[in-house]
Amino acid sequence: MGKGEATREAVLDEAGRMARTVGLGGMTIGTLAASTQLSKSGLYAHFQSKEDLQLQVLEHAKARFVAQVIAPALSAPRGEPRVRSLFEHKLRWDSAPGGCIFTSAATELDDQPGPVRDRVARDERDWRDTIAEVFRTGVAEGHFRPDADPEQFAFDLEGVFLAHHLTSRLLDDSTAGERAWRSFEQLLATARVS
């Protein structure tokens, strides 16, 4: 890995951290340059525009998300164990300092058209598809009812994540984790074969 690539990744790491607290739009070139010991123009050698930077931040974050959440979950046994693993890892991801960048970007950009919003929307769809797909392995394994709706499960589970995110960050409520777990167990109980 060349030197340029190294600093580029370092910048993307810092930018991701920054975007999680002030948003993708609130993040500025100046402060980002300062906190990475670079000059503003030094940054622009790696990114053609702020929009390009935002897109790369999302791409970089998604790679980390796949490595830290999706991949570990997929290594769990099919069915309910895999669903549980996915839930656990995603909850841990959301508990990182600053929270989940996709969650913050999603509500920030949901009404601002453009390529960045499109990218966030695509990632959100991918994520829901992943949840639904993992849930389907549970149906196939006979853990969940055959008439259960995987997309509805994804909708509900995403709601649990969002509520947890808000409860733990905005309200500083330490019971958010327990609450999320309780909701999750209830979702599973409803989906299970009777």
Partner DNA sequence: TAACAATCCGAACGATCGTGCTATCGTGTT
Partner DNA sequence: AACACGATAGCACGATCGTTCGGATTGTTA
Residues in contact with DNA by CB under 7 A are 2-5, 7-8, 27-31, 37-42, 44-46, 48-51
CA-to-CA separations, 141 to 81, 82, 153, in angstroms, rounded: 11, 11, 16
Phi first, then psi: give them for residue 192, nearest 5 degrees.
Answer: -65, 155
Q: How far apart are CA 36 and CA 13, in angstroms?
A: 10
For residues 143 and 91, is the Cβ–Cβ distance under 8 A? no
For the CB of residue 177, give the shortest distance to its own copies in the complex, in Å. 11
Q: Taking the CA of residue 53 as centre, how many other CA atoms within 13 Å lie in the half-sphere pointing to its CB?
A: 28
For the CB of residue 128, give the shortest distance to its own copies in the complex, in Å. 8
The tokens describing 66, both together, are: 């796949």
Cβ-proximal residues to 39 (8 Å cutoff; 6+ apart), any chain: 33
Q: Give the residues lining the site for its own copies (CB under 8 A).
A: 20-23, 25-26, 98-99, 103-104, 106-112, 117, 120-121, 124-125, 151-152, 155-156, 158-167, 169-172, 179, 182-183, 186, 190
For the CB of residue 11, give the shortest distance to its own copies in the complex, in Å. 20
Give the one entry of its own copies, DNA, none that residue 158 binds, where binding means its C-beta sits below a cut-off of 5 to 8 angstroms depending on kind. its own copies
The tokens describing 154, both together, are: 């994804």
For residues 102 and 123, is the Cβ–Cβ distance under 8 A? yes
Give 76 or 131: the residue with its C-beta nearer to its own copies. 131
Give the one entry of DNA, its own copies, none that residue 46 binds, where binding means its C-beta sits below a cut-off of 5 to 8 angstroms depending on kind. DNA
Give the one entry of DNA, its own copies, none that residue 103 binds, where binding means its C-beta sits below a cut-off of 5 to 8 angstroms depending on kind. its own copies
Give 25 or 72: the residue with its C-beta nearer to its own copies. 25
Give 90 or 165: the residue with its C-beta nearer to its own copies. 165
For the CB of residue 87, give the shortest distance to its own copies in the complex, in Å. 14
For residues 78 and 137, is the Cβ–Cβ distance under 8 A? yes
